[in-house]
Amino acid sequence: MRAARRRSNTIASLPGFEEESSDFTHDAQLSKVAVLFPLPLPEPFDYCAPDAWSLQPGDHVIAPLGPRSVRGVVWSVETKSANAANLKPLESKALAAPLPDISRRFIDWTAKYVVTPPGNILRMVVRSTEALSPSPTYAVYAPTETMSGAVTPQRAKVMSEAAREPATGAELARRAGVSSSVVKALVEMGALTRIDVPEDAPYPEPDLSLPGNSLNAQQDAAAEMLKESVRAGDFQAVLLDGITGSGKTEVYLEAIAETLARDPSAQVLVLLPEIALTQAVLARFEQRFGTRPVEWHSAITQKARRRAWREVNDGRARLIAGARSALFLPFRNLRLIVVDEEHDPSYKQDDGVAYQARDLAVARAKLGGCAIVLASATPSLETLVNAQAGRYRHVKLTARHGVAVLPDVELIDLKIDAPDKGRWLSPKLVTAAAEALARGEQVLLYMNRRGYAPLTLCRACGHRMQSPDTQSWLVEHKYSGRLVCHLTGFSMPKPKECPTCMAPDSFVAIGPGVERVEEETRQLFPNARIEIFSSDTAQTGDQVRAIVERMAVGEIDILIGTQIVAKGHNFPLLTVVGVVDADLGLKGGDLRAGERTYQLLSQVAGRAGRADRPGRALIQTYAPEHDAMIALSKHDRDGFLAAEAAGREAMGMPPYGRLAAVIISGPDEPTVNYAAITLGEKAPSADGVDVWGPAPAPLSVIRGQHRRRFLVRADRGVDISAFMAAWRERVKLHSSVRVQIDVDPYSFL
């Protein structure tokens, strides 16, 4: 057997890994160990390690990979292996608890489904390497019985503070009003003893003795059904389908309470769209369970991240609220997943590994045999069809809580009720707003476009200001005086003269954005308190909370917002919602354009009349005959979705068929073209599968990358992931060309 020695430059610098166990000698019994790395490699690599290490699948290890030492996770172990001796030895094993079996199965399943190497999914699971070591500690000082030196008044003060509550030296000195040398002296004479406290303390347990709100009869029945599903203890999917304001959150909070109470080790995950920005719902969790849920999203600190990961991995964190990436946390005993606003497009990740978190959440619940609740007032067609087919239970809430009723929805036909030239608000909408303001109520104007105007045009030569990276139009932002590309973030000062014909001051702004609507609103209502709510005016969670709070307490009269306002805010004084341009989302030929427009506008309309004052929603459109508009005005969601479903079924489109996209991109256009054509030639032919393309992507250039697309449609019974994997394997493309596969695409750009 080959004696293996650890190389010198490796683990000593990596906290949390056992250094001493890395040397082993030729007479040891060896295991053959397959290790998956968080890298885009096709499969795990084999190594050897002494049986004495007692490695198990899921253990975090360090292994030599080329010239480097790389972290990886044990995928399988064969002890007493006869042919392990020729393998390279592992270097060390981490102290952290192994990745749970279910996490590994979920990684393998997801990798296959989204057609990516499993290492890419592992990278999303093991996000915080610091979490693999025990928490760092800090020293606090507590009194002992010993006091060898003189008891000066200063020392006595420190001792009494330490007796009250042990603290760091600096904190004790501050509380006692003495210099830190006094504390130091007490430590040296043995009067104070050092205690090492972990920086990342375990989270407080949810308090299950607190009562929930008393539910109305319909809510109570819904909560009972959810609890029943939890009690079943295996995979159960429930669509919690309730109109805005019906109390879906109240109801699923009871299912969470039941889950946590039934099993002291149970963990619950609540996925929330845009959790980093809209945190109001977390306060409701806190009220219900006496403690905030553990948060997981892009805005938490590195320290919070490692703490959350470690506590979830150790099974101590019990209630987690997070963005889509929280699905990849290493839950040990996940018993319930809630996907709130399950229709929300932010559950789909398009960059990097493309995945739809709602769908993966259902897969995770199936793999782990747990309950999942999908909550929405406007469920996606995918989910609704699953419910109608009996694959999910369908629980409905049809009334708003208390006296609140759904708002009246009126369509304003812009062809008939046209605003004046250069204006965007129709006389009807202006009148409704004025009436609300006169009653001391609030108005929300919804315009899903940031900035002042979407197009800046030279009136002398017709030149349109375009983004150099994407060729899309630059959007004027008046407050910053810049032209901005909303796709890439590129921006430039608005030029004084046209870059083509050099005419000075020749630019005109075409079309409205929120800033332009605000300008008009200020002219119409000079005394009103008006604010814009968009990702430009509210970039952080604190800024969002501040605007929402001002609106909630009535410090704003007219709020002009992008889709950020559509999320579940409750504004009791808001009675008039005006949708300035309802047709925006209908353009672009997206498969789900109608469905999304319906979802978004009914969420926005649902902000009106959430308390005791009835609300009105006025929707300005050039297409009042569109199915989505008619359905909005009649509150006929089901009729609308039935028509959508029939259309999709006739075309074999999701959810009645499957889609996958391929995006080929690279810096050199001819090379990208060549690659696209080669790939197209190699497409396997299979029954029930259509391959369309290659075609230039609608966004044919982004940041200097030329893009071509394929769209694949398959019958529902076809394993589209296997088809895509087989196709991808047939072709070797130029190294400058990137191929991204997007199974179940939501973006067609």
Site residues, ligand ADP (CB under 6 A): 213, 215-216, 219, 242, 244-250, 401, 568, 570
User: Residue 576, by phi and psi: left (phi above 0), alpha (psi -120 to 50) or beta?
Assistant: beta
Neighbours of 655 (CB within 10 A): 18
> In terms of CB distance, is 572 or 680 closer to ligand ADP?
572
Q: How far apart are the C-alpha atoms of 402 and 597, rounded to whole Å?
A: 28
Per residue in 718-727, is it b (16+ CB within 10 Å) or e — as a string?
Answer: bebbebbeeb
> In terms of CB distance, is 124 or 275 closer to ligand ADP?
275
> In terms of CB distance, is 487 or 611 closer to ligand ADP?
611
Q: DSSP of 540-582, one letter per residue?
A: SHHHHHHHHHHHHTT--SEEEE-GGGGSS---TTEEEEEES-T
> In terms of CB distance, is 126 or 240 closer to ligand ADP?
240
Min separation Cβ 216 and ligand ADP, Å: 6
Q: How far apart are the C-alpha atoms of 706 and 470, rounded to whole Å?
A: 9
φ/ψ (deg, to 5) at 641: -65, -30
Continuous H helices in 484-531 = 514-524
Min separation Cβ 280 and ligand ADP, Å: 9
> In terms of CB distance, is 369 or 614 closer to ligand ADP?
614
> In terms of CB distance, is 349 or 602 closer to ligand ADP?
602
Q: How far apart are the C-alpha atoms of 324 and 321, rounded to whole Å?
A: 10
> In terms of CB distance, is 250 or 627 closer to ligand ADP?
250
> In terms of CB distance, is 216 or 346 closer to ligand ADP?
216
Min separation Cβ 376 and ligand ADP, Å: 9
Per residue in 455-477, is it b (16+ CB within 10 Å) or e — as a string?
Answer: ebbbebeebebebebbebbbbbb
Closest Cα partner for 587 from 698, 708, 485, 664?
A: 698
> In terms of CB distance, is 173 or 215 closer to ligand ADP?
215
Q: How far apart are the C-alpha atoms of 6 and 64, rounded to whole Å?
A: 9
Min separation Cβ 253 and ligand ADP, Å: 8
> In terms of CB distance, is 219 or 386 closer to ligand ADP?
219
Min separation Cβ 393 and ligand ADP, Å: 17
Min separation Cβ 337 and ligand ADP, Å: 17
Min separation Cβ 272 and ligand ADP, Å: 11
Min separation Cβ 504 and ligand ADP, Å: 53
Q: How far apart are the C-alpha atoms of 296 and 137, rounded to whole Å?
A: 22
Name residues whose C-beta falls within 8 Å of residue 637's C-beta, 6 or more positions apart in sequence. Answer: 378, 598, 602, 631
Q: How far apart are the C-alpha atoms of 533 and 520, rounded to whole Å?
A: 16
Min separation Cβ 404 and ligand ADP, Å: 8
> In terms of CB distance, is 100 or 568 closer to ligand ADP?
568
Strand order, beta sheet including 267-271: 294-296, 319-322, 267-271, 334-340, 371-376, 236-242, 393-397
Min separation Cβ 400 and ligand ADP, Å: 7
Bridge partners, 579 (sequence order): 446, 619
Min separation Cβ 273 and ligand ADP, Å: 13
> In terms of CB distance, is 303 or 550 closer to ligand ADP?
550
Min separation Cβ 220 and ligand ADP, Å: 9
User: Residue 308, by phi and psi: left (phi above 0), alpha (psi -120 to 50) or beta?
Assistant: alpha
> From residue 259, how far is each of 253, 331, 700 by CA, in Å?
10, 15, 48
Q: How far apart are the C-alpha atoms of 246 and 30, rounded to whole Å?
A: 61
Min separation Cβ 235 and ligand ADP, Å: 24
Burial of 9 (0-12, 13-18, 19+ CB in 10 A): exposed
Strand order, beta sheet including 705-715: 689-702, 705-715, 657-666, 738-743
* Secondary structure (H, E, C), 213-266: CCCCHHHHHHHHHHHHHHHHCCCEEEEEEECCCCCHHHHHHHHHHHHHHHCCCC
> In terms of CB distance, is 572 or 696 closer to ligand ADP?
572
Pairing of strands 319-322, 334-340: unpaired
